[in-house]
Amino acid sequence: MQRDHGAPTRRQALSMLGAGAAAAALPGAAIAQPTFPRGAVIRTLLKDFAPEELAGGATLFHEHMSLRDGFLTDWNRYAAEARTANAIPGGAAAGRGGAAPAGGAAGRGGAPAAGRAGAAPAPAPAIPQGNVLADEKFMTEEMSIARREGIGCIVDAGHPDMGRDVAFLRRISQASGLPIVASAGFYTQPFYPKELSGWSEQKIFDEVMKQVRANPTGALGEIGSWDYITREERKVFRAIGKVHLATNIPIFTHTGIPGKSALEQLDLLEDVGVDPRHVVIGHLGNLNDPTTEIQRAIIRRGAFIGFDRQGGTGDASVLAMAVSLINAGYSDNLMFASDLSSTREMKQAGGGGYSKTLTVFVPKIKAAGVSDEVLHKIMYDNPRRFLAFVPKIARSA
């Protein structure tokens, strides 16, 4: 049961103090909390939380804190190929999580550096070299900063075919005090194990269940299609749906470049019996359509939609779509995150950091006239409603 004290908890106080304008815009104490099913938990690497225990901070449903060396190079190459095939401007320059192109300057959330009038601008922080998503000290500090800036829980969207390291995530969670949810599954066609093409749905189901039993798993994701969905990706989606039915673990997806398979993803999951209320169809900010027809169709079926690459200079189109959906009464089914994985976007490199959805994007939505209550729902409540599940199998060690 949620505590009800007159004074804020330490976490609430840190959230309100650290997140600046965003925290001030989202005061949690006066806003009613959602209800959760009896026995529901949010399963993090270190412990299972009652969902009410994580009410004091925002929850990010889709980020990356551990990836193998070379993953981002491969990702950008495949993305450039897909963009060329689809005649999409920009090639791979956008990168994952809205990162700046290699060699370009990445300001903090796209804003100029603050300084005294007439003073010389502060030198930009050095960009760390190598794979910082394998640098324990660096990532512990990034998680500590995110926690100070108002993040209460964060989901890592990796799994074995991305080279995600669960032991690494445990250590940075323990050292920073920020709860991390680990995921399971298979990503997209270009990253599948070569042998997967010969596997049956049952074999894929068995392999994902091995992942779930090996580590405390709180989400199935990101489960993706790279562009138009392939035969192998359909098998994976159906198998993932069956894993959900066996475990109750929620599912979030990756909809590719630029998200052509969003509706088919939901079709495949529903076809095997998944309730859309336990699904986020991700990257729907990529579907830059002012009418938001696809987003509305998915919401009307009961699923969440993810706008999960925000917090920088390219927010305008996503902002317009999000405000349109909020004004249409769809805020219960919206979720925001940044899908961060780029070194240039890390706080220690001068970027917005893992809290940038809360500290950069949310103030833009507030300035567009969206209320504190709605923003609190999207950042604090909707992700907990999504992640909370009643376990069907015992927690692994």
H or E element that contains 61: strand 58-63
Q: Rounded to whole angstroms, how far apart are CA atoms 381 and 42?
A: 12
- pLDDT per 10-residue tile (average), the chain, 397 residues: 35 39 51 91 98 97 98 94 78 42 31 46 76 97 98 98 98 98 98 97 98 98 95 98 98 90 97 98 94 97 97 94 98 98 95 97 97 97 98 93
Q: Are 95 and 342 in contact (CB under 8 A)?
A: yes
Q: Which two tokens stand for residue 243?
A: 């894993």
Residue 221: how many other CB atoms lie within 10 Å:
29
Strands 42-43 and 48-49: antiparallel
Instruction: Give residue 157's region: left, alpha or beta (phi > 0; psi -120 to 50).
Output: alpha
Residue 342 sits at the vertex; the CA angle it makes with 339 and 343, to the nearest 5 degrees, is 140
Q: Are 38 and 50 in contact (CB under 8 A)?
A: no
Nearest CA to 387 out of 242, 254, 250 is that of: 250
pLDDT at 121: 66
Handedness of CA 136, 68, 345, 25 (dihedral sign): negative
In a domain, 119, yes or no: no
In a domain, 94, yes or no: no
Q: Tell me, what DSSP letter sits at residue 110?
A: G
CATH of the domain at 373: 3.20.20.140
Q: Which two tokens stand for residue 188?
A: 């997209």
Tell me which amino acid residue 177 is. G
Beta bridge partners of 254: 224
Helix (H, G, I), strand (E, B) or coil at 377: helix
Helix (H, G, I), strand (E, B) or coil at 195: helix
Q: Rounded to whole angstroms, how far apart are CA atoms 86 and 88?
A: 5
Q: Exposed, middle or buried by CB within 10 Å (0-12, 13-18, 19+), for 172?
A: buried
In a domain, 397, yes or no: no
Q: Are 356 and 377 in contact (CB under 8 A)?
A: no
DSSP string, 228-295: SPPHHHHHHHHHHHHHHHHH---EEEE-TTT-TTHHHHHHHHHHTT--GGGEEE--TTSS--TT-HHH
Q: Are 81 and 92 in contact (CB under 8 A)?
A: no
In a domain, 18, yes or no: no
Domain membership of residue 133 as a residue range? 41-69+129-387
> Residues near 114 by Cβ (< 8 Å), separated by ≥ 6?
none
Q: What is the pTM of this model?
A: 0.87
Q: Rounded to whole angstroms, how far apart are CA atoms 145 and 142?
A: 5
In a domain, 85, yes or no: no
In a domain, 88, yes or no: no
Helix (H, G, I), strand (E, B) or coil at 190: helix
Q: Are 218 and 251 in contact (CB under 8 A)?
A: no
Strands 42-43 and 251-254: unpaired
Q: At what angle do helices 201-214 and 231-247 cross, to 10 degrees?
A: 50
pLDDT at 92: 38
In a domain, 271, yes or no: yes
Nearest CA to 209 out of 180, 188, 173, 240 is that of: 240
Torsion angle defined by CA atoms of residues 179, 100, 284 and 335, in that order, rounded to the nearest 10 degrees: 30
Q: Are 315 and 364 in contact (CB under 8 A)?
A: yes
Q: Which two tokens stand for residue 203?
A: 């074999």
The total of structural domains in the chain comes to 1
pLDDT at 85: 84
